[in-house]
Amino acid sequence: MRLTQRDIARLARVSQTTVSLVLNNRSDASARIPAETRDRVLKVIRETGYVADPLARRLLQQRNQILGVFTYESVFPSASADFYHPFLSGIEQCAEERGCDLLLFTSAPVTDGRRRIFHENNRLRLADGALLLGRRIPAEELTRLVAENYPFVSVGRRDTPEPVPYVGADYVTATATVTAKALALGHERVAFVGPGEGAESSADRLLGFRRIAPRGLHIAPGERAAGSPADAGPGAPAADRGLSDVLTRLLDADVTAVFVEDLADADALAAAARTRGLRVPGDLSVVALGDASRPVPSDVDYSGFHIPRKEMGRQAVGLLEAILSGETAAPQQLLPCELVEGSTLAAPEGL
C-alpha cells in the first residue's frame, strides 16, 4: 500500500495541513510550526521512506542510498542468466563505487504472462530510483513512472510517446557496419534472420541492415516456406527445427551471407548448415548481431559484434545518480558495440 500525506500525519500525530506545509517548506507558514513538530514529521518521512514528492527529497537533503533493480524477465535462475549477468555486474560495480546498495524487486506478480512493476504491494518508494531491464518494457509503465516523477533509467533504448531516460547499445550502426563489410567482400545475396520488430533492439538491428542492404531478404523464425521440411531431424529442439526451415529458405534464395539477431540462433543455423554438408563460411557466412540470450554449445568465434552490456549497466547507474542529484546529463545515451572479426564471415566462394 502506498503511503499518503494522511498516513504521515497520522504517524506523526499532526494534521495533514501541517505535513503539507513541512513538505513544501513554506517559509511564511512553516515559521509558525514548532521545531519539535517539524522534526517529528521529518523523522516519520525518513523512517517510512515517503519521498514521493521531489520537494520532500530536496528538503530532507539526504537519500536512502538504495537503487532499485527491476527485471521484466526472470534472471535467477534462468537460461538467460548468462546474458543478464554482465548488465548486473556493471550495475553492482558502479553502485559499490558510489556507496549505494541495490534492491532487487522480486515481488512483482506475473499478469497475462508478463511481469509488471506497478502492483498493489510494490515497494518502489523504498529505493531512491530504479534501473529497469528487459527485452520489452510496457510503454504504459514507463509513462506512469514519468507521470509520478519517479526517478528511473532504462537499460536499453525505448520508444515511448514521451522521451524516457535510457542507456542503450547502438545496434543500428553496428549492424550497418558488419553488413557493409559483407557487401565489400562480394556478397550480393544477403539475409537478416530475426523478428525485426516488437523489441526496440530487434527493430534497430533490422534498420541497420536495411540501410546497407535495402533489398536483402528478411526471415522471421517461425515463418514456414511452402514445401519446406517439417523438422531438422528426430528429437531436434523446436528452435533448431525452425532454423532448419530458415536455412532451406536461405538456400532457395541463393543467400551467401546471413545476419542473425541472436548468437545462439546463429550457432544453431550454422550447425544446421554443416549437417547438410555446407561449409561455414565457405558456402554460407553467418554473422551474429550480438550475444547469446541462451547457452551456446559450441565455442566458435562468430563474426559480428558484442553488446557493451557491463558498460551499459555502469553508465545506467551513473545516469540515475545524475538524475537524483539534479546534475545535467544526456538523458538518452547509446554506446558503441564492440565489433568482432571472428571466423564465420569471408568472401563467397568463387571470388
Residue-level pLDDT, tens digit, the chain, 351 residues: 567 778 888 899 998 778 877 776 554 544 578 888 888 888 888 787 675 554 454 444 457 789 999 998 877 656 665 788 999 999 999 999 999 999 999 887 777 777 888 877 778 888 999 999 998 898 889 998 988 889 999 999 999 888 899 999 999 999 999 999 999 999 999 999 999 999 999 999 999 999 999 999 999 976 544 333 333 333 334 345 578 899 999 999 999 999 999 999 999 999 999 999 999 999 999 999 999 988 888 889 999 999 999 999 999 999 999 998 887 778 999 999 999 999 999 999 865
CA 133/CA 73 separation, integer angstroms:
8
Q: What is the b/e burial string over 153-184, where b = at least 16 CB atoms within 10 angstroms of the residue's CB?
A: bbbbbbebeeebbbbbbbbbebbbbbbebbee
Every domain of the chain with CATH number 3.40.50.2300 lies at 66-168+309-336, 171-307
Of the CATH numbers 3.30.70.2660, 3.40.50.2300, 3.40.47.10, 1.10.520.10, which one belongs to the domain with range 66-168+309-336?
Answer: 3.40.50.2300
Position of cell 522480486?
A: 106
CA 219/CA 58 separation, integer angstroms:
52
Nearest to 152 by CA among 180, 172, 174, 124: 124
Question: pTM, whole model, 2 decimals?
Answer: 0.77
Under CATH, which architecture does the 171-307 domain have?
Answer: 3-Layer(aba) Sandwich (3.40)
